[in-house]
Amino acid sequence: MIEKGKVYLVGAGPGDPELLTRKAERLIKEADVILYDALVGEGIKELFPQGVKLVDVGKRADDHTFPQDEINRMLVETALKYKNVVRLKGGDPYVFGRGGEEAEALRKAGIEVEAVPGITSAIAVPEHAGIPVTHRGCASAVTLITGHEDPTKGESALNFKALAQMRGTIVILMGVSRLKDNVEALLAGGRPRDTPVAVIERGTTEKERITAGTLGNIVGLAELRGVRPPAIIVIGEVVRLRSILK
């Protein structure tokens, strides 16, 4: 009987290979097979050992190459064939990465799984751009949300009114395609138009680009500059600190 493998759900961090954890680096080096996402940085791919089996799961918000069910199935099948399976995901595997779903599917199939934390883009990307997500006297809370839901639909899981009225920083992931809807929902909920906003594309990489404005003008600015995913959207007074910290 073949011995079942173990799957490591590994966070690859926001892009810069130096922001990989030591554990992630070791697991990558020891892997028999690596299944990685589109968000895994090019510099990190250079660390993949020669001869390791690679599977590009390449799933993006705009182009669902593999449905999640299929990825789950693929992970189970791979673990039945290989001993050390690394499922490498951008940022942290349990922050909007569907890592929890993958772990669940593996557990259900009786396969050993371990989540290895990574540095999430939600915090590291603003930080690298000179924006602390919390700051004394300025933001005592930070809320991470997905920008992928339709805020105009009644069944949206997010209460934008409550979000708009809670003082503190809002960080939106997967928010480029619905930027306008999200901004409008926050304005309708009562966030002032002059609230500072920054959109950071490909943070911590050489291709990083920051578009800064306010809730009132960010949609136009993002269109003008052709903002593309992956990007982090930061909303709140902390964005002003960029002028001092960067």
Binding site for ligand SAH (CB under 6 A): 14-15, 39, 61, 89-92, 95-97, 120-122, 125, 173-174, 200, 202-205, 229-232
Nearest approach in angstroms of CB 205 to ligand SAH is 6
Q: Is 29 marked active-site? A: no
Distance CA 125, CA 53 (A): 30
- Which of these is catalytic: 16, 92, 174, 181? 174
Nearest approach in angstroms of CB 56 to ligand SAH is 16
Distance CA 197, CA 151 (A): 18
Q: Is 59 marked active-site? A: yes
Distance CA 42, CA 65 (A): 19
Sequence-separated (6 or more) residues with CB below 8 Å from residue 96? 122, 144, 146, 173, 174
Nearest approach in angstroms of CB 3 to ligand SAH is 30
Q: Is 62 marked active-site? A: no
The sign of the dihedral angle between the CA atoms of 126, 131, 133, 139 is negative
Q: What number of CA atoms fall less than 13 Å from residue 150's CA on the CB side?
A: 4
Q: Which residue number, 164 or 173, has a Cβ lying nearer to ligand SAH?
A: 173
Distance CA 8, CA 27 (A): 8
What DSSP character marks residue 18?
Answer: G
Burial 7-19 (b: 16+ CB within 10 A, else e): bbbbbbbbbbbeb
Q: Which residue number, 92 or 102, has a Cβ lying nearer to ligand SAH?
A: 92
- Which of these is catalytic: 16, 37, 92, 181? 37
- Which of these is catalytic: 6, 59, 83, 161? 59
Q: Which residue number, 100 or 192, has a Cβ lying nearer to ligand SAH?
A: 100
Q: Which residue number, 89 or 242, has a Cβ lying nearer to ligand SAH?
A: 89
Nearest approach in angstroms of CB 80 to ligand SAH is 26
Nearest approach in angstroms of CB 94 to ligand SAH is 8
Three-state DSSP string of 132-180: CCCECCCECCEEEEECCCCCCCCCCCCCHHHHHHCCCEEEEECCCCCHH
Q: Which residue number, 92 or 149, has a Cβ lying nearer to ligand SAH?
A: 92
Active site residues: 37, 59, 174
